[in-house]
Chains A and B, each alone.
Chain A
Amino acid sequence: MILREFSANGQSTEALAPNSIRDPASCRVKMGDVNPIRRLRSVPVGMLDLSTSLRNTSLGDEASFGVFYDLTASLVHGVVLGVVKDPAIAEEVTQEVFLELWRLAPRFDSSKGSPKSWAATIAHRRAVDRVRSEQSRRTREERDRQRTPAEYDVVSEQVVEHLEQEHVVDALGQLTKTQREAVTLAYYGGHTYREVAVLLDVPEGTVKTRIRDGLIKLRDQFGVTS
């Protein structure tokens, strides 16, 4: 799919821009190459970037979705695990998230955010939905009790890559204590602002304001603009 697109529209130069290839050593196509298109065919799809992989995913290309998965899996799973906590349930939710991302890829609108924010938003929403539906139904509880402890161990041992990202931790450190509390309970805790108000025993309006002020501060620190 990708290759066909490159050869069809003659965009091979742009497609070969170094920033779309993760390993600079593999970027060896020279002006004099007889057939750059032929050469492109040997470039593993894994070398393409997030936007490209998403664009090709939207055309139904499964290999590109594999690339998209590889580039976003730790973000998606990190978000999901952070909210749902249980590693086994988190895996289920992560699967659902990627299925959703696959289905929705043709509707991705780059004017409404980056591929990363899109994936993170859907991941967080799915995780929160899962936590909230469990709260109300409690059907999982029994299943959890029946699950053997050994199963937990296998799963958690294999969660090898767990990186605390300092820039995020630092930015959160810049918030006032009350802002950080509200933002953290809402986003990482998966609580609604009403629930946060109950947890902190402050009025709902206060929580809304803390969340808003905190997020504005974070937005400015992260240098986010739309």
Chain B
Amino acid sequence: MNTELHHLAAAYALGALEAEERDAFEIHYPGCDICSVEVVEFALTAAVLGERSLVHPRSEVRSVVMDRIAKTRQLSPLVEPPTLSVPRMGPGDAITGPTKQRVATLASKGVPAAGQWRASRLGRTVLATAAALLLVVAGAIVVGNRAEEPDLFAQLLDAPDAELTPLEGETGIVQVVWSPSLDRVAVLASSMPDPGAGMTYELWFLLEGGVVRAGLFAPGESGEVRHSWDVEDLDANGWGVTIEPVGGSDSPTSEVLYVGTL
């Protein structure tokens, strides 16, 4: 896998990777000494290729752009994360430096830049652990018939393209299961804190350049969350959860409390 990824920097710089490969490479290269240098060099090279035909757009384009930027908020810069308490991932799986930093960085910037995710061995362990946990949870849902819509959960989990993403946060993990083919998402958690009076949790699609709301959910009295609903068909590359006023917000107003990348 890694040997293959090492040879993708050139194709990546030319935009010649398919979405899945591009995502995988974007997770790989920031942590790879060879690829991270190559990506910069090949991007500079591709930019020169881009100069082959300089075409000035019509002046109307400039007016439209200037008009639109005046109504568009810029993203905040990336800042060093504040110190966070160390959340527990599971038995013996304390989050260590890089992962902790990643959570904090993603949280502090609200929107992740695709190129900045790092895959870690720990991340994969967490994923595996989470997958195992989810199977148990799913089993409980289906067998115990405790969920509101057990058949929808089962259907979602059985979908061949169902993707499980553990969202990491200070207070633990929230699982998101998503099936693009069913356009359905489920949120599962065992002990989420009460969001507070008049507040609710909101799940967000993390996209290349921003976030789109995915839906609202609230934990039960014991902090349990088992909620599933239909979502838009979007090319998401991760999930984030914030706390918003009841009814939800159009863009996140709190810091990102849980975050995970596909």
Q: Is the CB of B68 within 8 A of A78?
A: no
Of the candidates A102, A169, A171, A214, the one whose C-beta lies within 8 Å of that of B69 is: A102
A residues 20-39 in Cβ contact with B at 8 Å: none
Name A102's closest neighbour in chain B (CB-CB).
B69
Of the candidates B40, B46, B49, B62, the one whose C-beta lies within 8 Å of that of A73 is: B62
Shortest C-beta distance, B26 to chain A (Å), equals 11
- The interface size of chain B toward A, counting residues with CB under 8 Å, comes to 50
A interface, over-half SS:
helix
Quick check: is A116 within 8 A (CB to CB) of the other chain?
yes
Quick check: is B90 within 8 A (CB to CB) of the other chain?
no
Mask for B201-232, Cβ within 8 A of A = 1, else 0?
Answer: 00000000110000000000000000000000
Alpha-carbon separation in the docked complex, A104 to B234 (Å): 21
Alpha-carbon separation in the docked complex, A35 to B137 (Å): 72
Interface-lining segment among A2-10, A40-48, A142-150, A155-163: A155-163
Quick check: is A105 within 8 A (CB to CB) of the other chain?
yes
**Chain A, interface size: which category?**
35 or more
Enumerate chain A residues within 8 angstroms of B41, measured Cβ to Cβ: 219, 224-226
Enumerate chain B residues within 8 angstroms of A141, measured Cβ to Cβ: none
Enumerate chain A residues within 8 angstroms of B55, measured Cβ to Cβ: 74, 77-78, 81, 159, 161-162
Mask for A200-218, Cβ within 8 A of B = 1, else 0?
Answer: 0000000011011011101
Q: Is the CB of B54 within 8 A of A224?
A: no
Alpha-carbon separation in the docked complex, A211 to B15 (Å): 11
Q: Is the CB of A99 within 8 A of B74?
A: no
Q: Is the CB of B74 within 8 A of A103?
A: yes
Mask for B120-159, Cβ within 8 A of A = 1, else 0?
Answer: 0000000000000000000000000000000000000000
Quick check: is A114 within 8 A (CB to CB) of the other chain?
yes
Enumerate chain B residues within 8 angstroms of A219, measured Cβ to Cβ: 41-42, 44-45
Instruction: Given contact pairs A102-B65, A159-B55, enumerate 6 new A-B contacts (beta carbons under 8 Å).
Output: A77-B57, A113-B40, A158-B58, A188-B52, A215-B14, A218-B48
* 30 A-B contacts (beta carbon < 8 Å): A60-B74, A62-B69, A73-B57, A74-B55, A77-B57, A77-B61, A78-B52, A78-B54, A81-B53, A82-B52, A94-B61, A95-B61, A100-B209, A102-B72, A104-B75, A106-B76, A124-B46, A159-B55, A160-B56, A162-B55, A163-B54, A165-B53, A169-B52, A183-B14, A187-B46, A192-B11, A192-B17, A196-B16, A218-B45, A222-B48
Q: Which residues of A line the B interface, CB within 8 A?
A: 58, 60, 62, 65-66, 69-70, 73-75, 77-79, 81-82, 91, 94-95, 98-100, 102-107, 112-114, 116-117, 119-121, 123-125, 128, 155, 158-165, 167-169, 171-172, 183, 186-188, 190-194, 196, 208-209, 211-212, 214-216, 218-219, 222, 224-226
